[in-house]
Amino acid sequence: DEEQRFGVTHKERLKEMSKGVDVLTLSATPIPRTLNMALSGIRDMSTIEEPPADRYPVQTFVLEHNNAVIDDAIRREVERGGQVYYLHNRTETIDQCASALQRRIPGLRIGVAHGQMSEDALGDVMQAMTDGDIQVLVCTTIIETGLDIPNANTLIIENADRFGLSQLHQLRGRVGRSTRHAYAYFTYRPDKNLTEVAEKRLSAIRDFAEFGSGFKIAMRDLEIRGAGNLLGSEQSGHMMSVGYDMYLKLLDEAVLEEQGAAPKAPECTADLNVTANVDKDYVSRGEERMDLYRRMAAIRNQEDADDLLDEIVDRYGEPPRGVLNLIDIALLRAKAKEVSVKDIKQKAGDVLFTLTSLNFEAVSALCADPDYSSRVTFLAAAKEPTLRLKLSAGVDSLKQSKVFIDRYRSFCNA
């Protein structure tokens, strides 16, 4: 249980100890390396999506630290007979933090808990919290796992930008463990410029607050931190010498080979003399442009293309011709792959279609078609089966290639 708290060395040791034994790993937020192994097919995965009975999602707020807002949240929780976790993750100043709270809200019963306390003192504080004698527990991340106090239903975290995404989700899990509505406040210093990664983490913890969101948070953590090293000790991190998409492709091929499955058909490439790019005047951020290129490359059918185009129009406005051509090329490649075309290349006034396997009936029907009989040639002398299409004047090569592939597909599927 709590897989995210174990390092690779621990896991490898457990693997050695458990040879021949079935192993079940549990986590609300698996670390990127483990999640990547599951998504890649190396490990089986199932998710528990049904929430406990009579529970409500924790209402989550991300905001600049404001004493007035925080004090009001504490008062509201105490007035309804509940308890509060106040997370201040510096043992050097935790007592001063508790004293400041006491001055701002006189009469509050406050306790302090952190890992440098003696076992007896810590046990006494936690017992008092469990018994309801403490209204606000000022604490460190010592509360992250293992605590189940149903009456504690407000969580306040200082400097939440310093925590990892899965850690924030685990901490939020300390509240909302009863039939009452629970609240979590993730705060950061008002004068602090958050890093891009910190902004992504806080946005994710705010956006994914419903039941069953642990998997979505783990997926977002994988995107932010990277998948780590499958054969090494790093449990997060991005690929340096190989792009992540290429890494996943190579890993997928290796898994299929190990499973004895038939290798996937090669992706179709296309090299046509048309403008096809996402201009920075249209999408200014480089990261967003790369994401669009990646998503266009993943288009597999007309529905994928339409959905992506709708999103692009909604986010950036009417797209230029270069973007529309990119989507058309992605769809052309997907359709061509279905009929064993592995390469589409324009040479002067011709487009060459290289095949991985030959469908004689379809090629014969295409060459006999009135629209193509004078324009299509089968190059039998080429290293690989190749069809050459002579382009018509006045129509761009992309449009003609799309019509040609659609016609060839119709003969292949006849």
Q: Has residue 54 been placed in a domain?
A: no
How confident is the model at residue 151, as a pLDDT?
A: 95
pTM: 0.55
User: 62, 205 in Cβ contact below 8 A?
Assistant: yes
| Residue linked to tokens 């279905």 | 338
In sign, the C-alpha dihedral spanning 316, 317, 322, 326 is positive
| 354 lies in the same domain as 310 | yes
What single DSSP character describes residue 29? S
According to the model, what pLDDT value does residue 391 have? 92
Last residue of a domain, one of 246, 262, 278: 262
Same domain, 280 and 376: yes
User: Which pLDDT score, from 0 to 100, does residue 233 have?
Assistant: 45
- 302-337: pLDDT as tens digits: 999 999 999 999 989 999 999 999 999 999 999 999
The whole-angstrom separation of Cα 169 and Cα 29 is 8
Instruction: Report residue 23 as tokens.
Output: 């192993």
Task: Please tell me whether residues 286 and 379 are part of one structural domain.
Answer: yes
Q: How far apart are CA 13 and CA 170, in angstroms?
A: 25
- Using CA atoms, how far apart are residues 90 and 97, in angstroms rounded to an integer? 10
Position 219 scores a pLDDT of 65
CATH of the domain at 191: 3.40.50.300
pLDDT tens column, 158-189? 999 999 887 888 898 889 888 899 999 999 99
The verdict on 88 and 102 lying in the same domain is: yes
Shared-domain flag, residues 206 and 234: no
Identify the bridge partners of residue 274 per DSSP, sorted by sequence position.
none
258 belongs to a structural domain: yes
Q: Is position 125 within any domain? A: yes
**CB proximity list for 247: less than 8 A, separation 6 or greater:** 227, 239
Residue ending a domain, among 227, 262, 297, is 262
Asked if the structure places residue 9 within a domain, the reply is yes
The reply to whether 159 falls in a domain is yes
Q: Are residues 41 and 180 in the same domain?
A: no
Segment 82-94, tens digit of pLDDT:
999 999 999 999 9
Same domain, 203 and 278: no
392 domain-assigned: yes
Are 41 and 252 spatial neighbours (Cβ–Cβ below 8 Å)? yes
Same domain, 182 and 220: no
| CATH code, 380 | 3.90.1150.50
- pLDDT, position 220: 64
Same structural domain, 69 and 207: yes
Same domain, 143 and 221: no
3-state secondary structure of 113: strand
Which domain does 390 fall in, by range? Answer: 269-412
In the chain, which residues have pLDDT < 50?
229-242
Domain limit, last residue, from 245, 262, 279 = 262
In eight-state DSSP terms, residue 32 is: H
In DSSP terms, which residues pair with 344 in a beta bridge? 270, 353
Please indicate, yes or no, if residue 239 is contained in any of the structural domains. Answer: yes
- Residue 151 domain-assigned (yes or no): yes
Residues 63 and 203 in one domain: yes
What letter does residue 319 receive in the DSSP assignment? P
The number of domains in the chain is 3
315 shares its domain with 399: yes
Q: Check: CB of residue 209 under 8 Å from CB of residue 55.
A: no
